[in-house]
Amino acid sequence: EAGVVQSPRYKIIEKKQPVAFWCNPISGHNTLYWYLQNLGQGPELLIRYENEEAVDDSQLPKDRFSAERLKGVDSTLKIQPAELGDSAVYLCASSLGGSQSEQFFGPGTRLTVL
């Protein structure tokens, strides 16, 4: 069974440019999460989807970040415009749902903003 797929794995952009990350969750997983992991830190939740609905986006900086999960499967996280401080690893995870459901993580996208 394929795991969570993310692309690209690495992205280098200049500040003020837009960038987008893509995530394909494990088949059948209704819940999808986007996390931000700064260097030397643990992941922090940005947004959680139940199917196509964003049920927790309280930590998403909505002035420059946006996300979508059309048809309740794949998801895209976008930053526009990117800032130097956005350099980090962006992790996607998925689960079957429920408070005891294991989250499976993708390998992440490492973003470098110059």
* CA dist., res. 72 & res. 46, Å (int): 17
* CA dist., res. 59 & res. 73, Å (int): 22
Question: Least distance (Å) from other proteins to the CB of residue 86?
Answer: 19
109 exposed, middle or buried (CB, 10 Å; 0-12, 13-18, 19+)? buried
Of 1 and 102, CB closest to other proteins: 102
Of 14 and 56, CB closest to other proteins: 56
Of 54 and 73, CB closest to other proteins: 54
Interacting residues toward other proteins by CB under 8 A: 3-4, 31, 40-45, 48, 55-56, 91, 93, 95, 97-108
Of 81 and 110, CB closest to other proteins: 110
* CA dist., res. 30 & res. 98, Å (int): 10
SS3 at position 44: strand
